Amino acid sequence: MFGFTVLNPFLLFFTLLAAIPVLIHLFHRRRFKEVRWAAMDFLLKAQKKSKSLLKLRHLLLLLLRCLAVIFIVLAVSQPLIKAPSGLGLGGKSSTYSIIIIDNSYSMGEKIENRQLFDKAKEKAADILGMLKTGDSVSLVTAGWKAKAVISEPTYQLSAARKEIESLKIGNAGNDLGGALQLAAALIKKKNEISKEIYIISDCQASAFRSEENNIKNAFAELSGKAAIFLVKTGNFNPGNNAVTNVTFSRELVDMVMPVRIMAEVTNFSKKDSLDCIASLYIEDKLRDSKRLLVRSGKTEPVAFYQKFTESGINTGYIEISADPLMKDNRVYFCVNVKGAVPVLVVDGKPGKKKFEGEGGFLSFVFNPFGAEDIGKKSVISAVVKDFRALSADALSGVKVVVLSNISFLPEETVMPLDSFVRGGNGILVFAGDLTNPQYMNSRFYREKSGLLPCVIGEKILPKEDGGTFFIDKVNTEHPLLAKFKESEIKELKKARFASFYELKYDASDPSVTILASFNNGMPAIMTKKCGKGNTIIVATGANRRWSDLVIKPMFLPLVYESVYYLSSGTEERRNLKIGDKLSRTISFSEAQSARLLTPDRRPAVYRSSISPEGRVLDYDGTDEPGFYRLYLGDKSDAYSVNLDTKNESNTERVDKMFLLKIAPKEKFYFIEDGEDTRRLITQGRKGIGIWKELILLAVLLLALESYLAYKFGKRT
Amino acid sequence: MEQVYKKYLNPRVLTRVSALELKARQVVEGIITGLHKSPYHGISVEFAEHREYVPGDEIKHIDWRVYARSDRFFIKQYEEETNMRGYILLDTSESMLYGSKKTSKLEYGSLLAASLSYLLLQQRDSCGLVTFDSAIRNYLPPRNNPKHFNLILRELELAKNGVKTEIGKVFHDLAERFKKRGLIIIISDLLCDIEKTLLGLSHFKHKKHEVVVFHVLDRAEITFPFEEMTLFKGYEEKGDVLAEAWSLKQGYLENLNKFMAEIKKGCLGKKVDYVPLVTDEPLELKLSKYLTARTGRH
């Protein structure tokens, strides 16, 4: 049944004013003029004829006037119609309210110089002000990850108010689904008749859509158990630009070659952004700025070319010009700039002349201009060693070992090589005339436990004389090959191979990846992840007899990138997202003085555990964007933490239709920004206001009365 | 008496009527000539015209002088000389007291009666006055001496109002009482049973009287200018009506117009002159207009 109530019941007393038209009528009847009259017969006849009709007309007009007065009095007393299945809200019984405040970083958007989050807090305080003594309240934040700030309902509304005031805006996305589930769990514990949930959010469309199922399920769970008020903050969407991604053109960043730092700027607004300026800062110093045009809803790349001058950990960020939501305008990065990459080339068939063996050839490839080149034109410093002279000590200080045309190695170097790779270094294997598959398989494949990704099989020759093979498929999704342009990949495919070794691999092994395949489907280049390091095997030899790849322009960058890739295996994961775990293994001695500081230079409390490699530091509280710095004695390291801008930076608001689709059918009230929150909540609690309709009705009745009075003869 | 003269002899009316005297006389004579051929021959007859003798005519009517001159027989035709009896019947019932302005219907009717009496007596006609309501209250038989006018005025002054009107009954009584044919002038608001009134008129006509009805009404009775809540207190014990006047206006006017149309129709049907008068209209104008029109008709 529909209920009916009024906000100002005492005003109903004035419905007695409806008697005024009756009194006026009676008074009017008592005030008459007296006339002596001769032609009474005609008057009596007229009266007799129209008496009943007149009476009816009088009654009708009187009724209209009385109703008009009643409707006006009712309108003034603010009547509310209560929907069926009312939950007894706003009555005399105590109410349990849960206030959910969205503190995702999009709430930091400023509209008319006012942050949405401040508005949200103000609305929450307003809602608290509507609660009465005896009502209890809980407070939940809906930024990732949803958290019950006040889980145990408090009756001290002033304490809740203080909690609301102290709330801070988060740096993550929205977790409204989680917040509602938390609310559902809290609701279950309370026995109050009246239960209300207030959600104060900017109602981001992306957040609602990505969390649609969670929110829908939570709404379904709450349906009928509590009245839900969704209070929207920020009706107007001023638009937002965000730096959504930053990538480096190379894995290995050195001081020799400039690296391309590519930032992606996304315009989430409905209008083109014409004068967006992106700036690159390294160690807090502005290095470059670029103006860019970002079309509405598009992502625009912007490239900065930076040559680092300091080896070691460099920090920087890319920032775009100011807009209403500042938090996502900056993306931090940390990069370990290499001073030099020592490479040991182990030659299986050393020649007396410079280019006689593959080792000599590869040595030339790495340092074409000799020793002066190192550190000026290339960070790679290659040393060629005879395979027989290889020892475990030779591996010291080396980042990458290139095994070329190896028939066998001194036995005492096999295990050190294994440890060498697993410790974060790399091996690049070229086949060759002297390659002994049996030896290699037994020492370096070892039934998938070794360094090789595959079993080296038989040598494959073309079926007819003069025939060749070529590379048909290239795995451009792999980080090593993803950096190459399409033209460079085409160049790679043009290379012709006279023969190669068959590489047999286990397709189910997740650590193994095929980087390129021949036209007969057999692998040409394969890689395997071993511990912290990687190995790469090329199915052919690094000389002209095996293929013309070595004389192709593509060969040089391919080998360089392979070395960079293999040498970066030891790199820590330095660029994290908010909420990611920061993990670092350090030696036991370093652990003595380890200190982790948050971006605002506060000491961070991390967890510590022991592993075979040393002491593992784990820190889960990466909830602030910026640089987290780890101090290990006199050494320091840095980690960048950034916002996940994928969804949260899109500040487009969800439309009401969508909300009504997922919201409960009953007791769900959506309050737009700018609407009178207090009034609408009161209406929601008690019913729908109908005063405007009543005023309209009263006006219509009076108009009808005037018309009828005119129609009946004369306005009375 | 001087005051009574002043009251009933309105100089403007008299001036206007006097100005019409010749015409009026002709009219009066005309009325008589046209309607009341004398059935008698004697001193009171007057030569009208000659007509050639046709066999069957009485010989005594042959004009021998004409025969002597022309040697042809001509019959002399005579007409009765004007010796009209005018009976003025004034309704003095209570309803005649109504007057929305200064003048009541009775005052207006009395003025009319006096004016007509003056006119008749000036024309050397006999004039009588009857006042009545539900019965005959006073009766002055027709006389044509000038002193008789004083009596008429005194009677008008002393006329007392009765309560109810019963025109039909009074007319029947009078029709029986008036032995000689004459001109019967009725001055009344006729607010009584219309059928009985018309029957009374028929009775007069049956007795060969000429009848003129001056239907006197007040302007308020015709326009019904009331709007507010009004208590209408009826004359002649007709009761009271308390109503918002606007709501009755239409019905009242319909009833009144219907009544007047019926009266008019009844009068025309009986060859009775029907002259509607409204008390705020200048009497001299209405009267002269009627007399002029009447002259035109005859």
- pLDDT-derived band at A89 (thresholds 50, 70, 90) equals very low
- pLDDT-derived band at A61 (thresholds 50, 70, 90) equals confident
Q: Which residue of B has its CA nearest to A47?
A: B248
B45 or A439, which is more confident?
A439
Give me the residue from A31, A37, A716 closest to B234, CB to CB. Answer: A37
Q: Within chain A, which residue ranges are assigned CATH 3.40.50.880?
A: 341-570
Rounded to whole angstroms, the Cα distance separating B149 from A675 reads 96
Rounded to whole angstroms, the Cα distance separating A99 from A147 reads 12
Single-letter residue type at A21? P
Mean pLDDT of B51-73: 85
Q: What's the gap in Å between the CA of B248 and the closest CA on chain A?
A: 6
Q: What is the SS3 assignment for A56-83?
A: HHHHHHHHHHHHHHHHHHHHHCCEEEEC
Q: Are the C-beta atoms of A147 and A168 separated by less than 8 Å?
A: no
Among A412-421, A434-443, B40-49, where is mean pLDDT lowest?
A: B40-49
Cα B171 to its chain centre, rounded Å, is: 13
The percentage of residues in chain A with a pLDDT greater than 70, rounded to a whole number, is: 93
- Dig out the tokens for A18 from the structure: 């409806």
The residue among A228, A203, A123 whose CA lies nearest residue A167 is: A123
Question: May I ask the CATH architecture of the domain A341-570?
Answer: 3-Layer(aba) Sandwich (3.40)
Residue found by looking up tokens 């009985």 in the block: B196
Q: Hey, which CATH number is domain A95-237+652-686, 3.30.470.10, 3.20.20.70, 3.40.50.410, 3.40.350.10?
A: 3.40.50.410
- Dig out the tokens for A557 from the structure: 């960058």
Question: What backbone phi and psi angles, to 5 degrees, belong to A390?
Answer: -70, 135
Please list the residues that pair with A99 across neighbouring strands: A139, A198
A574 or A360, which is more confident?
A574
Counting beta carbons within 10 angstroms of the beta carbon of residue B218, is it exposed (0 to 12), middle (13 to 18) or buried (19 or more)? buried
Neighbours of A419 (CB within 10 A): 13
pTM passes above 0.80 = no
Residue B28 pLDDT: 36
Cβ–Cβ of A46/B250 closer than 8 Å? Answer: yes
According to DSSP, the β-strands at A575-577 and A533-541 are unpaired
Q: Which residues of B touch A710 (CB under 8 A)?
A: none
Q: Classify domain A575-642 at the CATH class level.
A: mainly beta
User: Does any CB of chain B come closer than 8 Å to the CB of residue A47?
Assistant: yes
* A250-267: pLDDT as tens digits: 777 888 888 999 999 999
Single-letter residue type at A195? K
* Chain B contact probe: residue of A33, A43, A57, A714 with most B CBs at under 10 A: A43
- pLDDT-derived band at A86 (thresholds 50, 70, 90) equals very low
Residue found by looking up tokens 């514990």 in the block: A189
What's chain A's length in residues? 716
CA triple B34-B39-B43, angle to 5 deg: 100
Q: What's the gap in Å between the CA of A691 and the closest CA on chain B?
A: 36
Q: Within chain A, which residue ranges are assigned CATH 2.60.40.10?
A: 241-338, 575-642
Rounded to whole angstroms, the Cα distance separating A69 from A77 reads 12
Mean pLDDT of B90-114: 89
Residue A87 pLDDT: 43
The percentage of residues in chain B with a pLDDT greater than 70, rounded to a whole number, is: 79
Residue B33 pLDDT: 38
- Dig out the tokens for B230 from the structure: 């009004």
Among A120-124, A680-684, B64-68, B231-235, the range with the most confident prediction by mean pLDDT is: A120-124
Q: Are the C-beta atoms of A715 and A706 separated by less than 8 Å?
A: yes
Q: Are the C-beta atoms of A332 and A316 separated by less than 8 Å?
A: yes
Mean pLDDT of A337-365: 78
Give me the residue from B98, B231, B255 closest to A42, CB to CB. Answer: B255
User: Does any CB of chain B come closer than 8 Å to the CB of residue A32?
Assistant: yes
Q: Within chain A, which residue ranges are assigned CATH 3.40.50.410?
A: 95-237+652-686
In B23-42, the residues whose Cβ lies within 8 Å of chain A are: none
Among A56-65, A552-561, A591-600, B33-42, where is mean pLDDT lowest?
A: B33-42
Find the helix or strand (DSSP H, E) in which A243 lies. Answer: strand A241-248
According to DSSP, the β-strands at A341-347 and A380-386 are parallel
Question: What backbone phi and psi angles, to 5 degrees, belong to B39?
Answer: -85, -5
Q: Which residues of A touch B254 (CB under 8 A)?
A: 46
Residue found by looking up tokens 């511990």 in the block: A531
Q: What's the gap in Å between the CA of B263 and the closest CA on chain A?
A: 14
The residue among A255, A256, A261, A207 whose CA lies nearest residue A230 is: A207
Q: What's the gap in Å between the CA of B37 and the closest CA on chain A?
A: 41
Rounded to whole angstroms, the Cα distance separating A426 from A251 reads 14
Q: What's the gap in Å between the CA of B260 and the closest CA on chain A?
A: 11
A193 or A65, which is more confident?
A65
Answer whether residue A93 shows pLDDT above 90: no
* B132-178: pLDDT as tens digits: 988 888 899 888 787 888 888 888 888 767 677 788 889 999 998 88
Q: Which residues of B touch A29 (CB under 8 A)?
A: 229, 242
Q: Are the C-beta atoms of B113 and B86 separated by less than 8 Å?
A: no
ipTM comes to 0.76
Rounded to whole angstroms, the Cα distance separating B216 from B191 reads 10
Q: What is the DSSP string of A160-184?
A: HHHHHHH----SS-B-HHHHHHHHH
User: Does any CB of chain B come closer than 8 Å to the CB of residue A41?
Assistant: yes
* B5-58: pLDDT as tens digits: 666 666 666 665 554 432 233 233 333 333 334 444 433 445 667 778 878 778
* A618-659: pLDDT as tens digits: 999 998 999 999 998 888 899 999 998 888 888 888 888 888
User: Does any CB of chain A come closer than 8 Å to the CB of residue B229?
Assistant: yes
SS3 assignment, position A246: strand
Q: What's the gap in Å between the CA of B78 and the closest CA on chain A?
A: 49
Cβ–Cβ of B252/A54 closer than 8 Å? Answer: no
Residue B43 pLDDT: 37
Rounded to whole angstroms, the Cα distance separating A99 from A111 reads 23
Q: Are the C-beta atoms of A705 and A716 separated by less than 8 Å?
A: no
According to DSSP, the β-strands at A114-115 and A136-141 are unpaired
In A695-714, the residues whose Cβ lies within 8 Å of chain B are: 712-714
Q: Which residues of A touch B234 (CB under 8 A)?
A: 37-38, 40, 43
* A501-545: pLDDT as tens digits: 999 999 999 999 999 999 999 999 999 999 889 999 999 988 888
In B169-198, the residues whose Cβ lies within 8 Å of chain A are: 189, 191
Answer whether residue A347 shows pLDDT above 70: yes
Counting beta carbons within 10 angstroms of the beta carbon of residue B230, is it exposed (0 to 12), middle (13 to 18) or buried (19 or more)? buried
- Residue B238 is classified by DSSP as -
Q: Which residue of B has its CA nearest to A52?
A: B247
- Give me the domains of chain B, ranges plus CATH numbers: 2-31+82-297 (3.40.50.410), 39-80 (no CATH)
Q: How many CB pairs under 8 A join A and B?
A: 103
Mean pLDDT of A300-324: 93
Question: May I ask the CATH architecture of the domain A241-338?
Answer: Sandwich (2.60)
The residue among A545, A540, A544 whose CA lies nearest residue A516 is: A540
User: Does any CB of chain A come closer than 8 Å to the CB of residue B225?
Assistant: no
Residue B21 pLDDT: 34
Q: What is the DSSP string of A507-568?
A: TT-TTEEEEEEETTS-EEEEEEEETTEEEEEEEEESSTTTBSGGGSTTHHHHHHHHHHHHHG
